[in-house]
Chains A and B, each alone.
Chain A
Amino acid sequence: GAGVSQSPSNKVTEKGKDVELRCDPISGHTALYWYRQSLGQGLEFLIYFQGNSAPDKSGLPSDRFSAERTGGSVSTLTIQRTQQEDSAVYLCASSLADRGLYNEQFFGPGTRLTVL
């Protein structure tokens, strides 16, 4: 099991509830990314972690979104007070090093979030 894993694979929640999405990157990968993929749209960058540096949160759409990465490994994306427009597939990716020129991102299978 050397790939990126995400859990849960599917999450259905009611509007206004909080949700937590988890990402386990490939062991040894220092860079971790979260993306959102809405139906018919391209991947939307949310947040980026690299080692012990401060994360790049510039893609988070609102203050209801936050993410942590503990111990440089597992990451959790939290969405508070979910809205229907938050419904999407949330993808996590990891790579060996900085978002340099040729570092390949390895993606997890995603978490499909449905907000009713």
Chain B
Amino acid sequence: KNQVEQSPQSLIILEGKNCTLQCNYTVSPFSNLRWYKQDTGRGPVSLTIMTFSENTKSNGRYTATLDADTKQSSLHITASQLSDSASYICVVSAGSWSGGGADGLTFGKGTHLIIQP
């Protein structure tokens, strides 16, 4: 069964500090992996997308890594800001409709990040 596991479930850090969120997946075949940011009361917004051949991708203070061999991804946030407080969701896409719910996508439950001043 295709699964996406995220850790930690929640995290509290001080403003200005760095943090790393983890995503482990068992989706097969693998097509791509996205990290989404979901602010409270809003829909998820895509931060990065990574394909099999990509190891690192940055979007401002967000840097995602992907190890397709170990099926792990991480999202590193540098110099955190209060506006980074949100849920971060890892979504893995299968290459066909052979897995991942009924739409080829398997969603993690997210990491709830709180930035304290």
Query: Do A56 and B43 touch (CB < 8 A)?
Result: no
Let me know if B103 is at the binding interface, CB within 8 A.
yes
- A68-87: CB near B (< 8 Å → 1, else 0) gives 00000000000000000000
Q: B108 touches which one: A33, A42, A104, A108 (CB < 8 A)?
A: A42
**A106 partner residues in chain B, CB cutoff 8 A:** 43
Give chain B interface residues in 70-117, CB to chain A under 8 Å: 89, 93, 95, 101-105, 107-110
Closest Cβ of chain A to B27, distance in Å, is 13
10 A-B pairs with CB atoms under 8 Å apart are A40-B109, A42-B4, A43-B44, A45-B102, A45-B105, A101-B93, A105-B46, A107-B43, A107-B45, A108-B43
Q: B43 touches which one: A99, A102, A110 (CB < 8 A)?
A: A110
B44, B93, B103, B107 — most chain A CB neighbours (10 Å): B103
Q: How far is the CA of A102 from the CA of B41 in the complex (A)?
A: 26
Give the total of B residues in contact with A, Cβ under 8 Å: 24
Binding site for A on B (CB under 8 A): 4, 31-32, 34, 41-46, 49, 51, 89, 93, 95, 101-105, 107-110
**B107 partner residues in chain A, CB cutoff 8 A:** 42-43
Q: How far is the CA of A43 from the CA of B101 in the complex (A)?
A: 10
Query: Do A99 and B104 touch (CB < 8 A)?
Result: yes
Using A101-B95, A102-B32 as known contacts, say yes or no to A56 and B103 having CB atoms under 8 A apart.
Answer: yes
**A65 partner residues in chain B, CB cutoff 8 A:** none
Closest Cβ of chain A to B108, distance in Å, is 6
Using A41-B109, A43-B89, A102-B32 as known contacts, say yes or no to A109 and B41 having CB atoms under 8 A apart.
Answer: yes
Closest Cβ of chain A to B114, distance in Å, is 15
Using A101-B31, A101-B93 as known contacts, say yes or no to A45 and B101 having CB atoms under 8 A apart.
Answer: yes
Closest Cβ of chain B to A42, distance in Å, is 4
**B44 partner residues in chain A, CB cutoff 8 A:** 43, 91, 107
B32, B34, B89, B107 — most chain A CB neighbours (10 Å): B107
